[in-house]
Amino acid sequence: MKVIVTGATGFVGSSLLHDCISNDEITQVYALTRKHIPREFTKNPKVTVITHDDFLDYPPELLEQLSGAEACLWYV
């Protein structure tokens, strides 16, 4: 399962990101964030960090990268 997590740099979002990494059913996690994310997450092969400043505007390239996600966990 491919999952998108927003707010991964916050208290709840980072805990959720950790849970997603630990879940064997989740194969790919896209951390959509405006800030830098802790190294413990960036070095995990399941995690792809996407830094994006404007959550009101999603260019086609970004939408293509996120396509196929089965869940979006929004913690912004």
* pTM, full prediction: 0.83
Distance of alpha carbon 35 from alpha carbon 6, whole angstroms:
11
Averaged pLDDT for residues 2-20: 88
Averaged pLDDT for residues 12-25: 91
- The number of distinct structural domains making up the chain is 1
Condensed to tens digits (0 to 9), the pLDDT of residues 25-37 reads 999 999 988 887 7
In the chain, count H helices and then E strands: 3, 4
Domain that holds residue 13: 2-74
